[in-house]
């Protein structure tokens, strides 16, 4: 198979095939007649594996390590479970952090709706950011003083 053929068979674009070839995850032979890379069924299996592993969040070095273990006739499954368990914990932490960020952003947007725009005056840059967590908005204090 040529680059285009293996790419179609694996459901990836040709640049992905070239990338994994450069990274030595695929080891195509050279056609002696035209020097084109010739991929075989093993390359296709490895390419499909790499695509699925990437979809599950495995890094390129991790995929290389999995393939190396398999090439050495050692089961990579224990390592896959360990790496995946660690990665899942990281993703869950990231989700919690993103949810907290979303809550802060929602609170800020809500507070900012009532705040007037300000012009930098040498003391402030953007009061929306500088005062969004203040217990009583600084603009509200000044505004109330002016109203009295």
Q: pLDDT for 31-51, tens place per residue?
A: 888 989 999 999 999 999 999
Whether residues 105 and 125 share a domain: the answer is: no
pTM over 0.85: no
The alpha carbon dihedral of 68, 70, 72, 78 has a sign of: positive
Average pLDDT over every residue of 81-85: 95
**What are the Cα distances from residue 69, in Å, to 41, 44, 62, 78, 85?**
19, 18, 11, 11, 19
Whether residues 55 and 109 share a domain: the answer is: no
Instruction: Quote the domain boundaries for residue 8.
Output: 1-74
CA distance 121 to 47: 58
Contact indicator for 76, 65 with CB cutoff of 8 Å: yes
Whether residues 9 and 32 share a domain: the answer is: yes
């Amino acid at each position: 198979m040529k680059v285009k053929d293996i790419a179609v068979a694996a459901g990836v674009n040709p640049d992905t095939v070239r990338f994994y070839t450069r990274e030595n995850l695929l080891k195509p032979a050279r056609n002696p007649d035209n020097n084109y890379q010739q991929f075989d069924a093993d390359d296709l299996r490895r390419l499909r594996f790499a695509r699925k592993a990437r979809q599950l969040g495995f890094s390129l070095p991790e995929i290389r390590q999995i393939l190396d273990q398999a090439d050495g006739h050692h089961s990579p499954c224990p390592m896959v479970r360990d790496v995946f368990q660690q990665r899942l914990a990281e993703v869950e932490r990231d989700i919690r952090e993103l949810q907290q960020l979303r809550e802060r952003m929602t609170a800020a947007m809500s507070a900012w709706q009532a705040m007037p725009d300000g012009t930098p005056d040498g003391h402030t840059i953007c009061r929306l950011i500088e005062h969004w967590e203040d217990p009583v908005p600084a603009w509200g204090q000044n505004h109330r003083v002016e109203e009295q």
